[in-house]
Amino acid sequence: MFSPREFSRPAVRRAWIAALLGPLPEQRFEELTRELFAWQMARVPAFRRLCAGHGVTPDTLRSWREIPAMPQVLFKRATLYAHGERTPGAVYETSGTTTGEPGRQRLLSTDIYEAVCVAGARRIGLFADAPELHFIASPPRLAPHSSLSAMFGFWNRAAEAGRGKFWMGAADFALLRDRLVTARCPVALAGTAFGFVHFLDFLGERRLALPRGSWLLETGGFKGRSREIPKPELYAALTRTFGVADRAIWNEYGMSELSSQAYARGHAGLHQTPPWARVLIVDPATGREVAPGREGLVRWIDLANVDSVLALQTLDRAVRTATGFRLLGRLPRTEPRGCSLGADDLLATR
Amino acid sequence: MTTTRERIDLLARAFPQLFPRPELVRLVRTQLGHISALDNWIERKGVRVRARAPRTIHHICAGNLSISAITSIAHGLIVGSRNTVKLPSPREDATTRREIIAFVQALPKSLRVLVELQSERDDAALQEAEVIIAFGNDATMTALRAKVRGDQRFIAHGHAVSLLWIDDADRLTSRQARACAVDVLTYDQMGCLSSQAIYFSKPADVMRLGGRIALALEQTRQTMEAKPARPLGVRARIAEARDVAQALGHAVWLPPARHLGWTVIHDPDPTFVPSPLHGVIYLRASRPGSLTRDLAGVRGKISTVGVTGSKLEPQVRQAFLDLGVSRFCGAGQMQFPPLGWHHDGRASLGELVTWIDDERPHGL
């Protein structure tokens, strides 16, 4: 039986960060997962009810792989927060495209999120060449409920103490273009796939040969398409326009409901998680992992997601591989229903 | 050139279960006034009239269910029109498309020649048709309507939902519960006649009601033909519905070994929310006085209300009428309307034909 620590205490959180960023062999990962699972189950009623429905308790849990995962949509319908009445230090909102209501990820403090965001990026070498960072996104102070802006802000703080710059949409594109044209040291350009598409539209046929060692990072492109541009075409356009290799383009796969991110390199790259987070590709009917090479849904176990729930079930399709997973895109929001009215249709009529 | 009676005979011989001859004859007589109204002049209130069928009907089928498309094609054949049929696009589950093709291939030759199947959207066929019958979502209907000329008739079967009403849940019999189960499980809830929710009148013992419905669903499922393995998207929606309900603390009834055949969820919120289908049925309590509020989101889109028992309280009936319901039936019959039913309130054959009047005195 575990005696879970109290994750509201700053010292405990610092120790947890150290544990996550330290060596994490399988047994240690299992121990930490059980500890966080027991703590969250005791504090998040919806998670407790979900686990009860699956007949899983800390005492009966055999492996971290059996932890019931919270459907992502629950962040829109319930408060998933492990600190009761304590005021969250940050609230990140998801898009409200599915139900019209945004989901909310409440963090007691951004300390753990910041630590793993930065460590995750460092692990894959994003800051190795000390690039000049540019973000096609709103800065955190203007988008306090955007987890993406927050992450970019953390990166900016971690890499060369705030040398980076945020560029917000079309109004800033001319300035960004001029800045990139004159760059002499490696630059990094990060933003949503959608933001990149807009920037490409703005640049038209203009080519910007970025200095050697530069990289691009797009996120949100995992859905397979950004606007009308399939991912291979987007990456081809990025390599052509910015003069970088396909391997110098990263995809970040994360979401507001999580604290950790997975990364893939190049348009066909496999996604890999940091040691403190795992992704299982599961059959939703059984909750068990599919065999390698088979398609299933992405399920996250994120030890950095201390303040809400560590296990998240997404509707993102992926193929399990020996060394990671290949994202295929999100399930359509509804199956073909023809004349039968669905939730999306109902919303559309309002 | 065949007569209406000959076409009915051909259709009924080929599909005696689906299209029984007496029902087809009754359908024509009821909606056109006479079995030969398309073939001869008939007398109607002192005026000789004759029905004229459209030369071509263009049917645009939805991907969820074949029965609507098959019935629509059958109506076109009964009136003797040429029928161009835009099949649903191939999808992960192509059952609907296959079933429509199989129906057409099984038609007697003299009827089959009146049907042309199309895999791709064909604007020329759309333009050529006198009547366009379309099934699908409201967005599709809006897009199609913009393409239709003023001299074409456009019969749109857009979004609709159906539901069951249980007036006295505590006295629900096993037979009635099984009738509800038939309505839920037939066609895997994929049609607009499929019950997406069971509304029951308060007060009632919800746990008892849920248990009865769950038992009936399992018993009924075992009598039905085994379904092919559910695709990933369907498995995901069912699992999500179950997990969401459990996390929210709603009562959930699951089948043995958690198979995916059916799921019963009691949602304490009476507001109608569409089901993810595929056997997921929501129990919602309401009162006659609050039904119109609880179902306001689907006002004008409720096709069928299946009712357990023979009585429907006047206040409940009025509430459903105010909501625009176009059909009441007994539980267990939701998916099996008679051939002459008014789909979306319309006369299926009557809307296809036009009439020629001859007002001259007889013998002139």
What pLDDT digit, counting tens, does each position of A93-120 carry? 987 555 567 899 999 999 999 999 999 9
By Cβ distance, the residue of A77, A317, A343 closest to B244 is A77
Token couple for A245: 């290799």
Q: Mean pLDDT over residues A153-171, rounded?
A: 83
Same domain membership, residue B231 and residue B115: no
* Count of structural domains, chain B: 2
Report CA Rg, chain B.
Answer: 22
Binary contact (B160, A339; C-beta < 8 A): yes
By Cβ distance, the residue of A54, A338, A345 closest to B64 is A338
Residues of B in contact with A296 (CB under 8 A): 232
Do the beta carbons of residue A40 and residue A46 sit within 8 Å? Answer: no
To the nearest whole angstrom, how far is the Cα of A296 from the nearest Cα of chain B? 7
Q: Which CATH superfamily is domain A1-85+276-350 in?
A: Luciferase; Domain 3 (2.30.38.10)
Same domain membership, residue B273 and residue B227: yes
Interface of B with A in 1-60 (CB under 8 A): none
Do the beta carbons of residue B292 and residue B277 sit within 8 Å? Answer: no
Same domain membership, residue B225 and residue B255: yes
Q: Which of B37-46, B254-263, B276-285 has the lowest mean pLDDT?
A: B37-46
For chain A, the structural domain boundaries read: 1-85+276-350, 111-269
By Cβ distance, the residue of A78, A342, A346 closest to B248 is A78
Binary contact (A338, B62; C-beta < 8 A): yes
Beta strands in B72-152 (DSSP E): 82-86, 115-118, 131-135
Interface test with A, best of B92, B133, B244, B299 (most A CBs within 10 A): B244
Do the beta carbons of residue A46 and residue A70 sit within 8 Å? Answer: yes
By Cβ distance, the residue of A47, A71, A340 closest to B244 is A71
Whether B282 is covered by a domain: the verdict is yes
Sign of CA dihedral A335, A339, A340, A345: positive
Confidence of residue B228 (pLDDT cuts 50, 70, 90): confident
Same domain membership, residue B53 and residue B95: yes
Same domain membership, residue B325 and residue B177: yes
pLDDT single digits (tens) A35-70: 999 999 999 999 999 999 999 999 999 999 999 999
For chain B, what is the mean pLDDT?
93
Q: How many helices (H) and strands (E) does chain B have?
A: 12, 15
Beta-bridged to residue A104, according to DSSP, are A93
**B276 CB neighbour count, 10 Å cutoff:** 26
By Cβ distance, the residue of A295, A341, A350 closest to B161 is A341
pLDDT computed for residue A100 by the predictor: 65
pLDDT computed for residue A224 by the predictor: 42
Range of the domain at B34: 4-158+344-358
More confident: A11 or A335: A11
To the nearest whole angstrom, how far is the Cα of A226 from the nearest Cα of chain B? 21
Q: Mean pLDDT over residues A298-324, rounded?
A: 96
- Closest CA in chain B for residue A331: B233
The verdict on B322 touching A (C-beta cutoff 8 Å) is: no
Beta strands in chain B (DSSP E): 42-44, 47-52, 56-60, 82-86, 115-118, 131-135, 153-157, 161-166, 195-201, 251-253, 263-266, 280-286, 302-307, 327-330, 354-358
ipTM of the modeled complex: 0.92
Give A157: exposed, middle or buried? Use CB within 10 Å, 0-12, 13-18, 19+.
middle
Report the alpha-carbon distance of residue A268 to residue A280 in Å, rounded.
19
pLDDT computed for residue A267 by the predictor: 93
For chain A, what is the mean pLDDT?
90
Binary contact (A346, B297; C-beta < 8 A): yes
Same domain membership, residue B89 and residue B39: yes
pLDDT computed for residue A350 by the predictor: 38
Q: Which amino acid is at A249?
A: I
pLDDT computed for residue A223 by the predictor: 47
**Cα–Cα separations (whole angstroms), residue A164 to A130, A157, B7:** 11, 8, 77
Binary contact (A50, B246; C-beta < 8 A): yes
Q: Mean pLDDT over residues B192-211, rounded?
A: 94
Q: Mean pLDDT over residues B70-83, rounded?
A: 97
Q: Mean pLDDT over residues A260-288, rounded?
A: 96
The CATH number of whichever domain residue B59 belongs to comes to 3.40.605.10
Q: Mean pLDDT over residues B317-327, rounded?
A: 96
More confident: A99 or A71: A71
Binary contact (A335, B248; C-beta < 8 A): no
Residues of A in contact with B260 (CB under 8 A): 285
The verdict on B160 touching A (C-beta cutoff 8 Å) is: yes
Q: Which of A269-273, B68-72, B136-140 has the lowest mean pLDDT?
A: B136-140
Q: Mean pLDDT over residues A207-226, rounded?
A: 79
pLDDT computed for residue B65 by the predictor: 83
Same domain membership, residue B70 and residue B49: yes
CATH architecture designation of domain A111-269: 3-Layer(aba) Sandwich (3.40)
The CATH number of whichever domain residue B199 belongs to comes to 3.40.309.10
pLDDT computed for residue A340 by the predictor: 57
The verdict on B243 touching A (C-beta cutoff 8 Å) is: yes
Confidence of residue A339 (pLDDT cuts 50, 70, 90): low
Same domain membership, residue B34 and residue B86: yes
pLDDT computed for residue A131 by the predictor: 86
